[in-house]
Structure 1
Amino acid sequence: GVVIQNLSDADFDVFRRERDAEKGLFDGWLTAYVNINDVRVGDIVDYGKTTVRTPIIGTGLLFHSFAVAWDEPIALIRERVMWPTVQPLNFRQIRTDMSPDVQSTGETTTYLWQSANPIPVKSQENLPPDFLTYPSIEISSTSKWQDIVDTVLPYYRLDQELPADFASKLDAIAAKYDAPEDRMIEAMRLVQDNIRYVSLSMGRGSYIPRSPTTVVASGFGDCKDKALLLASSLRRLGIHADVALTDLDEGLALATILPTTRAFDHVIVKVVIDSQTYWIDPTNYLQGGRADNLVAPDYCFALPIVADAGIEKIDRKDLYQPTTFVSEVFDFPKRKGEPLKLTVTTTYWGADADSMRYKLVSQSPTKIADDYLKYYNRQYPGMKSLGPLVTNDSRDKNLVSVIESYDLSADDLDADNLSKEFALKSDVGIRYLPEPELLERSAPIWLGSPIFRRHRCTVRNLKAHFVGPEDNDDVVTPYVAFKARWTSTSTEFQVDWFLKTINDQVPAKSIGPYLKSLKKINDNATWNYNFAYSDAEAN
């Protein structure tokens, strides 16, 4: 073969792409793009890169990670780290036993890893956050999370002066509420609802929060800014609060990753009242509940910025009731030529209420109503809305309800035998359960945040006695449970479906039974009836 040097002829285009600007997040990242001319099938492209970092914080800390295999064939992966001999490095091997070749010369020690012709690793979907796609090596210059805390602690002083107008609002809260739990909720809402989220994560803004005075004056802030403001506000109200680092999507991995500032992309607040711990995400908007039913952010773990720091678990509360309950009432026509009436009442509780409350203020009621109408038209063509959505919000109880009203003309009900093949379909979030391929699967499946949902269908004004399946089609596994219960009279039929996740992941050895259970759930999620039947026999 012939070695051809292409670097001198390569033209790099550098451009800025703000991929999350619509979310109020500006990171300033630049992308370099190069196209190599005349690359042909069979060519081997050999490239190298040098990364020069100028840390804004933690200048004496090192963290690096790399994969020792990819999903495509590769001849050689080589990683070399040169580091002062007096400061030994810490290593973590993830599904590999590869160790470095270590050589010391004077004050510098060189660590060299080489992975020659590694077996390609098939990429897998729906992985738990603490399960890396590829076998990897982590390198850190510290084994103590306190070293990470010490690098950011100076920027999160909780004794900073608050603007006079904002402080007066806190004083009004203190005058109105004696209980620290109530003061906590009111301060949380003050910061969440009145300081909008905008993140200028460029340069210092990536790591260092702005002062509470600056944040209040501007009316916006990112997670760092709002967490510092909320923790400072709670301290003023006599409540013990600290800022804590976490990760939005990969918080579960904080329990095993080596200490590094790069393990975090989010900042929240830890509050302790008596012996009770509360975790608050100040970037939430219009969060509901009081202290007794406040929903903690589902980030798994966090690192409080305090002395003697360590990774702490964010406990999940058990779901003792469905967080979404959909009740559909179908009133079949009593006389020929009358329309079918459908009334849908959906009640949201807890985290689902928070999500729905945000949806109701961030989207137009017309768009939401149109989306719902399209959903029912796919099932029952010709369905028409009878009016706007009716909503009710009990913020302290964290309950949100939405009522929809529709009708279906007699002609549409008779068209295509719809009344004779009428579908009752459960909408309990089955679509949120991952269903990856089993082929060569070696990793667990991540089920994510807990799900507990209920869907009820009530059909009235029937002219026969209808029943559900004779066989019990309940699905109960260590990971997910699905149940259906029905009752009936001579004029009414009702079915309730329930879906609840029991664990947040499925071990690799149990994926086969899990996928079989999903098939059974889907098979039992829709019941079809001939509701035009008018005899007194069961259908």
Structure 2
Amino acid sequence: MRLNLFITALLVACLTVVKAQHKNLSVASTPSWLVPYQPDMDKKPDERDISEGYYLLLFEEQHHVEKAAVYRHIVRQIISEAGIQNGAEISVTYDPEYEKILFHKIVVRRNGKEINQLQPSRFKFLQQEEELSRFIYSGVYTAYFLLEDVRKGDQIEYAYTLEGNNPIFDNKYSSFFYLTSYDPVVNFYKSLIASPARNIRFKSFNKARLPEKENINGMQVYQWKETNIKPLESAYHTPGWYFDYQLVQASEYNDWGEVINWGARINTVSAPGNALQKKIAELKSESASSKASYMQKAIRFVQDDIRYMGIEMGEYSHRPNTPDKILLQRFGDCKDKSQLLTQLLKANGIFASMVYINTYRKGHVADYLPAPDIFNHVIVYAQLDGKDYWIDPTISYQRGDLSQITVPDYQKGLIVNPEGAKGFTDITNKAYGKTTVTEHFHLPSETTNKGTLEVTSTYYKQFADLQRDELANSSLKDNEKAYMEYYRKVYGKISVDTPLQIKDNDTANQLAVRETYILEEPWKQDSSAAGRVSFNPYAGVLKDVLPASIDKERKEAPLSLRYPVSMDYRIIIEMPTELPLEGEEINIKNRYYSFYFSPSVNGRNAILHYKFETYQDYIPADFIATYLEDRKKIDEVLGYNFTWNPDVSSSSPGGNSGGLNWLIIALTLLFAGIFYYQAQRYYKRSILPVQQPLYPREMNGWLILLAIGICIRPLVLLFQLFKTPVFQNNLWQHLDQVKNATGNTSLLQLLLIVELAGNVFFLTYSILLIFLFFKRRDTFPVTMVYYFVFNFLFLAADQVTFYYIYELTTWDPADTKDLVQLLVAGAVWSPYLLMSGQVKETFIMPHDSEINKY
């Protein structure tokens, strides 16, 4: 009997240590150290929260610090066929270098019965290496278990323990506790079990509840118990550092100084070996006595000649390899390359230190409790001749001198220097660059002919570095194809005219790319009018850098803003003939971004000029409503519609703006004749009795200033009259296409004719004033005052009508400026002309016909 019991016990013990494919996976009984937890298995979630055909009836997770173990117990409830597809597999990710999996249970419950499916041989082990595309090899495995015969209504329960800690952290604890899930959870429990001797601190994010503290069996236990956890909703278009789910951080580190000391310990380098000594000597020889040259050569060597590849297994997830090993193998990850560069710089008396950063959390990393596992990247901080340098050794193809070295918008870093600051340091980029893009279209005079597009893009400083790296990682042919496809999506059939041309100025760190295409069918038939064609340029390059246009539902979330961005973008459309270009200048600027748009015409060239710049990496939630309003204005000018009717305008590329409108010219001459006749009649009038003797006072003082203004005014009016497109056929032919003027074409025509008559009237009037002034005519003062009054009233009425026709709601400051200037001029000069003794003694001459009567 005793022998049988012994044999049974031995068999059970053997079963609990069966290995599965030698990947550190075993079957074992449930740990005895677990804190008792009793879930309510009769509860159900809100059915509206279930999206994949199943929910979690139970999610239990217990951490034991002293045993370096994490226990998870999960119960899935399958409620539909979709749940069979999405919830019938189990996966556990772990690092076999220091972790092992102990599976305790895999059962399927159906109709009150339990079906045991835990068979170690059915586990599949995949080394997915999700970061291999980033040249990172971590050695992490995923153990997959595919359940058999899963049906609608089944309940899947499994439990396992992960044992083992990364030895690099010296058994000091830090972790994150996520109080949420992507699936709805009915019973949610997490606990942390630790010795009372450990001083573990907690920090809550997004109003997460801090754990309840209790002493159980001599251990300090921290617990979270929740029911009906809502599924996590993904936040789109938010910056990488933002999250809105509840999170609690736990850490045993007292301050950032401890993390710095830990970093200094694992980054300590013994005496340089032969490979490192040889490289140091080589760099010194090439640089003579110039430390700046040495530093630049060292940076270029590590960035360009040491390829990026990380084997981050076990403690080498955080410990760098030795510089000699990196030199010999000629590859390394961020910490390896930073270690090598740091040692190279130190060897020539240049201060250098490694810097820990978080590329997602950026400056917000300082909001967390001190912990070494919060960082995901390493760069280098150096000092030379009193100047600070931030260097990312993983960036390739950086050019220019030391002053042009930049790093991405990391914001804050922890310098691994025990003698330095005990906290974070701001990472500043001083060499901001920009991008300029010019798209020059040449449109044919024959609508069936081909056109051309020439694109010139120039990148400066960090934007040149990025573009240089992008071009280097693909063939010229592939780049050519990608660029052409980009424009093909907007302009239809196009083909490459000349091969892609790249001009790289290493010294100035500027890179220019020139593309030339043939537009097979630039003109498109306009369905709204017979014989009319259209061309629709679109500012696609600018659209790509603008932040997303989102709805207003997520009012609490910030909007991600690409930073830094500084773009100067021009679209030049060379027309067969000069066409009117409607549109207003837009100038938006705030503390987050600026946008500028200006449409203009230079002969046959229509120019759409855009500028966009960002000042930080996000738009706060309380400013998004303003951004959406700004975005509406921006979207309205990203695309443009040029129309042309070649049948009724000159089709010659050298033509005179589509031909003159002789009817308007004749009307102008008629207006001029009428106003000239009236001016002659008015000139003969006199308002003062003839005085004897007729000796007017000499011109001096303020009258000299007035004389200058009176003489210049006709030239200004004449220039403005000839500059206006009212004499061109194209203006009258396209009035029906004027933005916001649809349905008001007749009123717009009337306004243009009235404006023309007014301009001719005031031109004639200003010439009359010159004659009256220099003849010292008695009618000059009152005629000049009337000029101010008539001019102000005409301009005000013209602008009011203009705003009505164009349905504008915002008054242009430039229009207000014109009215104010005219009003001020009238207010200053009118009293002087009517009351000044000098004026009364100067302007006394009647018309000659009045003098001859005496």
TM-score (structure 2 length as normaliser): 0.58
- Greater shift, 303-312 or 355-364, is seen at 303-312
Could you list the runs of 5+ residues in structure 2 that have no partner in the other structure? Answer: 1-41, 43-111, 650-657, 659-727, 735-854
Does the residue aligned with 2:533 lie in a helix, a strand or coil?
A: helix
SS in 2 for 1:389: strand
Q: Distance in 2 between matches of 1:532 and 1:170?
A: 68
Which residue does 1:506 correspond to in 2?
619
- Partner residue, 2:259: 148
* Count of residues paired in the alignment: 532
1:58: which partner in 2?
Answer: 169
**Residue 413 (str. 1) matches residue 506 (str. 2):** no
Corresponding residue for residue 484 of structure 1: 597
Q: Which residue of 1 is the match for residue 312 of structure 2?
A: 201
What is the identity, as a one-letter code, of the residue corresponding to 1:481?
A: S
**1:466 aligned residue:** 580
Structure 1 residues 451, 531: CA separation in 2 closer, same or farther (over 3 Å shift)?
farther
Does 1:224 find its partner at 2:335?
yes
**One-letter amino acid of the structure 2 residue matched with residue 55 of structure 1:** N
Q: Deviations over 1:239-295 (max 9, x none)?
A: 110011122333333111222221112111001224422111111111123222221
Pairing 1:8–2:118 present: yes
1:315 aligns with 428
Q: Which residue of 2 aligns with 1:439?
A: 553
Distance 1:494 1:391, change over 3 A: same
CA distance 1:364–1:41, shift in 2 (3 Å): same
Per-residue deviation, 1:157: 2.8
- The within-5 A match list for 1:100-111 is 100-104=211-215, 108-111=219-222
Q: Which residue of 2 aligns with 1:122?
A: 233
Q: For 1:285-296, what aligned pairs fall within 5 Å after superposition?
A: 285-296=396-407
For structure 1, the 5+ residue unaligned runs are none
What amino acid does structure 2 have at the position aligned with 1:413?
Answer: P
Gap change, CA 1:253 and 1:76, over 3 Å in 2: farther
Report the CA distance shift for 1:520/1:51 in structure 2 as closer, same or farther (over 3 A): farther
The letter of the residue matching 1:500 is: E
**Structure 1 pair 468/250, CA: closer, same or farther in 2 (3 Å)?**
same
CA shift in 2, pair 1:467/1:298, >3 Å: same
Is the deviation greater in 365-374 or in 439-448?
439-448
Distance 1:94 1:7 in 2: 39
The within-5 A match list for 1:384-399 is 384-399=495-510
Q: Secondary structure at the match of 1:348?
A: strand
Residue 475 of structure 1 contacts residue 481 of structure 1 at CA under 8 Å; is this kept in 2? Answer: yes
Deviations 1:3-52 (A, max 9, x none): 74656368432211022324322111111223344555566655544332
Q: 1:457 matched to which residue of 2?
A: 571
Any idea what SS the aligned residue of 1:51 has? strand
Backbone CA RMSD of aligned residues: 2.7
**1:44-91 Cα shifts (integer Å, max 9, x gaps):** 655544332322212231111122233543122212112221222110
Using the TM superposition, give the Cα deviation of residue 110 of structure 1 relative to its aligned residue in structure 2, in angstroms. 1.5
Higher alpha-carbon deviation: 18-27 or 190-199: 18-27
Instruction: Return the TM-score normalized by structure 1.
Output: 0.90
Distance 1:521 1:206 in 2: 46
- Residues 475 and 521, structure 1, Cα contact 8 Å, conserved in 2: no
1:367 counterpart residue number = 478
Deviates most, 223-232 or 494-503: 494-503
Q: Distance in 2 between the 1:270 and 1:50 partners?
A: 41
Report the Cα distance in structure 1 between the residues aligned to 2:269 and 2:384, rounded to whole angstroms: 17
Comparing 367-376 and 70-79, the one that deviates more = 70-79
Select which of 273, 287, 290 maps to 1:174: 287
Task: For residue 228 of structure 1, give the secondary structure of its aligned residue in structure 2.
Answer: helix
> Could you give the per-residue CA deviations for residues 369-412 of structure 1, whole angstroms, max 9, x where no partner exists?
11112222223333221221111111232211001112235xx2
Question: Equivalents in 1 of 2:352, 2:235: separation in Å?
Answer: 40
Paired residue for 2:188? 77
AA partner of residue 485 (structure 1): S
Distance 1:28 1:158 in 2: 25
Q: Distance in 1 between matches of 2:264 and 2:437?
A: 47
Mapped pair 1:341 → 2:477: no
Local SS of the residue matching 1:488 = strand
Residues 273, 6 of structure 1: CA spacing in aligned structure 2 closer, same or farther, 3 A cutoff?
farther
Could you say what secondary structure the match of 1:388 adopts? Answer: strand
TM-aligned CA deviation for residue 529 of structure 1: 0.6
Q: Deviation per CA, 1:97-121, whole angstroms, max 9, x where unpaired? A: 5232222357631211222224445
Aligned-residue offset at 1:137? 0.8
| 2: CA distance, partners of 1:69 / 1:23 | 29
- Is residue 137–residue 312 contact of structure 2 (8 Å, CA) maintained in 1? yes
Bigger Rg, which one: 2
1:81-92 mapped onto 2 (5 Å cutoff): 81-92=192-203
More divergent stretch after superposition (121-130 vs 44-53) = 44-53
Q: Residues 160 and 353 from structure 1, CA distance in 2 versus in 1: closer, same or farther, beyond 3 angstroms?
A: farther
Secondary structure class of the residue paired with 2:423: coil
Deviation at 1:133, TM superposition (A): 3.9
Higher relative contact order (CA 8 A, sep 6+): 1
Structure 1 residues 37 and 519: alpha-carbon distance in aligned structure 2, compared to 1, 3 A threshold:
farther
Contact 1:158 / 1:235 at 8 angstroms: preserved in 2?
no
CA distance in 1, matches of 2:155, 2:431: 54
The secondary structure found in structure 2 opposite 1:310 is coil
Aligned to 1:526: 639
Distance 1:338 1:99 in 2: 72
Post-superposition shift, 1:453?
1.3
Q: 3-state SS of the aligned residue for 1:328?
A: strand
The 3 A distance-change label for structure 1 pair 127 and 491 is closer
**Which whole-Å CA distance do the structure 2 matches of 1:89 and 1:69 have between them?**
22
- 1:465–1:489: 8 Å Cα contact kept in structure 2? no
1:62–1:140 Cα contact (<8 Å) kept? yes
Once structures 1 and 2 are overlaid, which stretch shifts more, 508-517 or 230-239?
A: 508-517
Q: Secondary structure at the match of 1:450?
A: coil
CA drift of 1:491 comes to 2.0
Distance 2:190 2:599 in 1: 62
Greater share of helix = 2
- The amino acid across from 1:374 in the alignment is E
Aligned-residue identity in percent: 24
Match in the other structure for 1:270: 381
Q: Displacement of 1:416 after TM fit? A: 4.2
Note closer, same or farther for the CA distance 1:24–1:420 as it changes in structure 2 (3 Å cut): same
8 Å Cα contact 1:390-1:402 kept in structure 2: yes
- Is the Cα–Cα contact under 8 Å of residues 561 and 618 in structure 2 kept in the other structure? yes
Q: Show the counterpart of 1:378.
A: 489
Map 1:185-200 onto structure 2 (within 5 A).
Answer: 185-200=296-311
Deviation of the 1:206 alpha carbon: 1.4
| CA shift in 2, pair 1:35/1:514, >3 Å | farther
- 1:448 and 1:102 mapped to 2: Cα distance? 43
Q: Give the aligned partner of residue 165 of structure 1.
A: 278
Alpha-carbon distance change, 377 to 99 in structure 1, aligned in 2, over 3 angstroms: closer
State the AA in 2 paired with 1:306: N
Deviation at 1:326? 0.9
Q: Which moved more, 1:40-49 or 1:113-122?
A: 40-49
- Return closer, same or farther for 1:93/1:337 CA change in 2, 3 Å cut-off: closer
Check if 1:495 corresponds to 2:605: no
